[in-house]
Amino acid sequence: MPREGILVRTPYERITDEQVQQIHHASMEILSDPGLISFNKDAAEIFRSNGADVTTVSSGDNPSWLIRIPEELVLSAVDSTNKTVKLGARNLENILVMKGDEPRVFFITGSETNTWLDVDFQTYVRKSEPATEIRVPEFHPRRGTVADLCKSAHVCEHLQTVDGYIRTVNIQDKDITEDNKDVNKFFASLNNTTKHVMSGLTSLHQLDNVVRMAELIVGGKEQLKENPIISFITCLVKSPLQFVEDTTDTFIEVCRRGLPVVVSSSPQAGTSAPIRESGIMAQINAEVLAGITLSQLVNKGTPVLYGSVPVRARMDTLGDSYGSVETSQYNIDCVQMARFYKIPNYSTSGVCDAKIPGQQSSIGRLFSDLVVTLSGPQFLHCAYGLLDCNAIFCLLQAVLDDAHFQMIKFLLKPALIGEKEISETLTQIREVVATPQKMYIRHIRPVMRSGEISPPYPFEGDLASDNVFALAYERMNELLAKPVEHIDSITTSKIFQEIPGLLPRLNVYEGRS
Amino acid sequence: MIEDIIAVLKENVIQGRRTVDDEGIDEALSGKPGVVELTQSALDNNIPLERIITQGLTAGMQVVGEKFAQKEYFIPDMLASAEAVGEAMEILKPHLEASDVQTKGKFVIATVKGDIHDIGKNIVAVLLKGAGYEVVDLGIDVPTEKIVEVVKESETQFLGLSALLTTTMLVMREVIEALKQSKIRDKVKVLIGGAAVSDEYAKEIGADAYCVDGFHAINVLDSFQKAGAQ
């Protein structure tokens, strides 16, 4: 049985059907005029050979081509996409099945941050009353390592609401180079979680090693097709409307191998996209559709996700403001656009502007987590532990976010109202109003133990003081102490023999008898 | 047989099963006698009252309290058990009056004049009954004169006053003044509770204690009992 996620039975829609059509038509116009600039020759050739109008813009060291994509080419590509995308997992119970027209949400980690935030607790003494001590969390940023990536995958394996794992931190150890980064980040993730693993690729040269590693884990090429335990994110489009040379190469190669891939576009309203909602929506939709079209021209039927990471610019710095309300609005619009094309949507929430866990981060992320979930994206990423937009990852925050998602999932449980329930209710009401005390408390008990009552907030203190961080920290350490199911020793041995560049310290069996 | 009845009575208190029709936590008990039937059965088998109370009802409530402290049980569980014990005590009442076995004392409880809120008051009443107190519940919107009259006539040792509103909490002071005027203030301990009141307010109006909830009330009453015994 695959993971259930949570089905949003009546998704929140921000834009009307007419507005969806208006955005769609505007995107079609954009793709034919002004079209996209491609810095990737193969992409230009593929579009040219399939009937797009391709002209050379510049040649020499940095050649580029203008691609004008006719509407019928885009619509035909949209038609040929798989409307159901399956993301496999080492544990078959963790497989994700996403249908483009079904608002069933899966909650995923990510995205890759450079900074890992350590937490420790210091004790302070009140000056005026030295007997009074308080414990206060302190946060220490540092560069992420492969050990951190293992630790984060380990905890996310045990977090109840995490449905899949996108690498949370960029591994920057001294012995990590461009040539071995991909194999190590995929192995560190796959070895510490049995959930689906998705990542970007640093070097195209590592693609086949990563794919081979996955084949060794599942037992072969065909098995990997049947159970794609890995998938890829590619930012092939740079806003506004440009195919990037290297990431487009990666994208094309992933498509050729038929593995699931996200076409991700992340325009910023105000700088790389128009500031108004209509503008950023028309542009991001055009950018994602251009990538989806390319995927189907390379390999018809490539499982592809409509990846949207729109954001509004801050007015003080023109940096990203993921915590802005508009960012959630854009994401909801994108969910609706993807559903219009019946392509599963890779959406974004839970990214906040705050640099440390605290009230701002809680308010910002819970707001976007809730409203974007209500719109019914299939693959909701960035949802755990991200701070300072997507620059910092904090494992403690991921544990706190899991509690948010438990609440959101509970909220979206179907209402238990039917003939049986109404009949029982009438009997109960008649019975209780006839008693002198008129209390329904007696009837709580069977419901309380059936799972119908939402649990209390897991990090609730004594209500007179706020111990949320300390309790979440305890929980995080409990989860780290729980074992995870690593890749078995024989497969691990094969992987280390066959895949070059893996760090010996990642072999959990090394040194064991 | 006697051992069995007492053990099953205790288990049914733990399960919070008032009667044969009640669901407990353990489905295996469904359709079997609850606390009410078992208490009657214990009487029919001439089991001594003290044994029914201490080894059956009180011992069961003690386990319930432990489970509550360990967060295995919640307030609805506690109330279900307390309610079952309260009903058992009603069955035992005529037998207790004819014997030398004492209850923990009489407790008159009321929501004061002008206030119709009674959820908290009812919960306190159920819990105190379950804890072995003889509870006289006067209900809601009770005139001050009526409270004073019942306290006087019943010779109760304890009076509980409840108010939810900031407007009706003022009536609590009137009740205490009326008890003084009737010269019975020193014969009764007055406990106050409800969302509007506080420890500070209890001191201000001359009440003997402020109770946050029913469990706190049991502790306060037990401390009064201990102080009285010394």
> Does the pLDDT of residue A448 top 90, yes or no?
no
Provide the whole-model pTM.
Answer: 0.87
Residue of A nearest to B125 (CA): A437
Residue A123 falls within a domain, yes or no? no
Q: How far apart are CA A255 and CA A461, in angstroms?
A: 50
Using CB atoms within 10 Å of the CB of residue B114, give its burial: 0 to 12 exposed, 13 to 18 middle, 19+ buried. middle
**Which chain B residues have a beta carbon less than 8 Å from that of A448?**
74, 76
- SS3 category, B187: helix
Residue A490 falls within a domain, yes or no? no
Q: Give the residue from A419, A380, A14 showing the smallest Cα distance to A164.
A: A380
Tokens standing for residue A150: 């293992």
CATH fold of the domain at B2-97: 1.10.1240
Residue of A nearest to B124 (CA): A437
- SS3 category, A140: strand
Counted across chains A and B, CB pairs separated by less than 8 A come out at 28
Q: How far apart are CA A290 and CA A91, in angstroms?
A: 34
Query: Would strands A129-143 and A115-126 be described as parallel, antiparallel, or unpaired?
Result: antiparallel
- SS3 category, B82: helix
Q: Are residues A319 and A243 in the same domain?
A: yes
Distance from CA of A443 to the nearest CA of B (A): 9
Best A431, A433, A440, A442 member to test B by mutation, with max B CBs in 10 Å, is A442
Instruction: Note which residues in 117-136 of chain B have CB less than 8 A from chain A.
Output: 118-119, 122-123, 125-126
**Which chain A residues have a beta carbon less than 8 Å from that of B76?**
441-442, 444-445, 448
Residue A190 falls within a domain, yes or no? yes
Q: What DSSP character marks residue A102?
A: S
Question: In chain A, pLDDT over 70 holds for what percent of residues?
Answer: 99
Q: Is B76 within 8 Å of A448 when comparing Cβ atoms?
A: yes
Residue range A47-63: mean pLDDT, rounded:
95
Q: How many domains does chain A have?
A: 3
Q: Name the β-bridge partners of A311.
A: A268
8 A C-beta contact, residue B109 and residue B134: no
Q: Are residues A404 and A427 in the same domain?
A: no
Residue A100 falls within a domain, yes or no? yes
**Which chain B residues have a beta carbon less than 8 Å from that of A445?**
16, 23, 25, 76-77, 80
Residue A462 falls within a domain, yes or no? no
Q: Is A445 within 8 Å of B119 when comparing Cβ atoms?
A: no
Q: Are residues A180 and A41 in the same domain?
A: no
Best B35, B79, B109, B124 member to test A by mutation, with max A CBs in 10 Å, is B79
Tokens standing for residue A25: 């038509």
Residue A411 CA, distance from chain mean position = 21
Q: Are residues A220 and A93 in the same domain?
A: yes
Compare CB distances from A441 to B23, B79, B137 and report the shortest one's residue. B79
8 A C-beta contact, residue A188 and residue A150: yes
Residue A456 falls within a domain, yes or no? no
Q: How far apart are CA A482 and CA A157, in angstroms?
A: 10
SS3 assignment for A396-451? HHHHHHHHHHHHHHHHCCCCCCCHHHHHHHHHHHHHHHCCCCCCCHHHHHHHHCCC
Is the pLDDT higher at B70 or at A304? A304
Q: Are residues A185 and A165 in the same domain?
A: yes
Tokens standing for residue A436: 């002198």
Q: How far apart are CA A416 and CA A414, in angstroms?
A: 6
User: Where does the pLDDT of residue A60 fall: very low under 50, low under 70, confident under 90, or very high at 90 and above?
Assistant: confident
User: What CATH number should be reported for the domain holding residue A108?
Assistant: 3.20.20.480
Mean pLDDT of chain A: 95
What count of other Cβ atoms lies within 10 Å of the Cβ of residue A346?
A: 31
Amino acid at site B215 = F
Q: Are residues A94 and A179 in the same domain?
A: yes
Q: Give the residue from B123, B132, B128 showing the smallest Cα distance to B52.
A: B132
Indicate where chain B has its CATH 3.40.50.280 domain(s): 106-229
Indicate where chain B has its CATH 1.10.1240.10 domain(s): 2-97
**How many degrees, rounded to 5, is the angle at CA B109 between CA B105 and CA B114?**
165
Tokens standing for residue A511: 């040194």
Distance from CA of A437 to the nearest CA of B (A): 7
Q: Is B76 within 8 Å of A441 when comparing Cβ atoms?
A: yes
Q: Are residues A48 and A177 in the same domain?
A: no
> Does the pLDDT of residue A456 top 70, yes or no?
yes
Tokens standing for residue B224: 């009064």
Best B21, B68, B74, B118 member to test A by mutation, with max A CBs in 10 Å, is B74
Preceding peptide of A260 cis, ω within 30°: no
B87 close contact with A: CB closer than 8 A: no
What count of other Cβ atoms lies within 10 Å of the Cβ of residue B62?
A: 14
Best B18, B67, B83 member to test A by mutation, with max A CBs in 10 Å, is B83
User: Where does the pLDDT of residue A513 fall: very low under 50, low under 70, confident under 90, or very high at 90 and above?
Assistant: very low
Q: Are residues A195 and A331 in the same domain?
A: yes
Successive 10-residue mean pLDDT values, chain B, 230 residues: 86 93 82 95 93 91 89 88 89 82 88 89 87 91 96 95 91 97 96 93 96 90 83
**Which chain A residues have a beta carbon less than 8 Å from that of B74?**
448
B69 close contact with A: CB closer than 8 A: no
Residue A22 falls within a domain, yes or no? yes
For A480-498, give the DSSP string. HHS---PPPHHHHHHHHHH
Where a domain ends, among A364, A387, A411?
A: A411
Q: Give the residue from B29, B31, B28, B91 showing the smallest Cα distance to B57.
A: B91
CATH fold of the domain at B106-229: Rossmann fold (3.40.50)
Instruction: Supply the range of the domain harboring residue A39.
Output: 17-69
Q: Is A448 within 8 Å of B119 when comparing Cβ atoms?
A: no
Q: How far apart are CA A456 and CA A52, in angstroms?
A: 57
Amino acid at site B140 = I
- B173-184 per-residue burial string, b: 16 or more CB within 10 A, e: under 16: bebbebbeeeeb
Tokens standing for residue B178: 């009326």
Q: Are residues A87 and A63 in the same domain?
A: no
Main-chain phi, psi angles of A219, to 5 degrees: 110, 5
B195 close contact with A: CB closer than 8 A: no
Q: How far apart are CA A260 and CA A198, in angstroms?
A: 9
Q: Are residues A48 and A151 in the same domain?
A: no
Residue A131 falls within a domain, yes or no? no
Best A445, A447, A448, A471 member to test B by mutation, with max B CBs in 10 Å, is A445
> Does the pLDDT of residue A481 top 50, yes or no?
yes
Q: Is B80 within 8 Å of A442 when comparing Cβ atoms?
A: yes
Q: How far apart are CA B168 and CA B112, in angstroms?
A: 7
Q: Give the residue from B167, B168, B169 showing the smallest Cα distance to B202.
A: B169
Q: Are residues A158 and A207 in the same domain?
A: yes
Is the pLDDT higher at B125 or at A499? A499
**Which chain B residues have a beta carbon less than 8 Å from that of A449?**
25
Q: What DSSP character marks residue A386?
A: E
Amino acid at site A77 = A
Residue of B nearest to A443 (CA): B76
State the pLDDT at residue A449.
Answer: 82
Q: Are residues A208 and A331 in the same domain?
A: yes
Distance from CA of B149 to the nearest CA of A (A): 22
Tokens standing for residue B134: 């003889």
- SS3 category, B181: helix
8 A C-beta contact, residue A501 and residue A176: no
Q: Name the β-bridge partners of A257.
A: none
Q: How far apart are CA B79 and CA A466, in angstroms?
A: 29
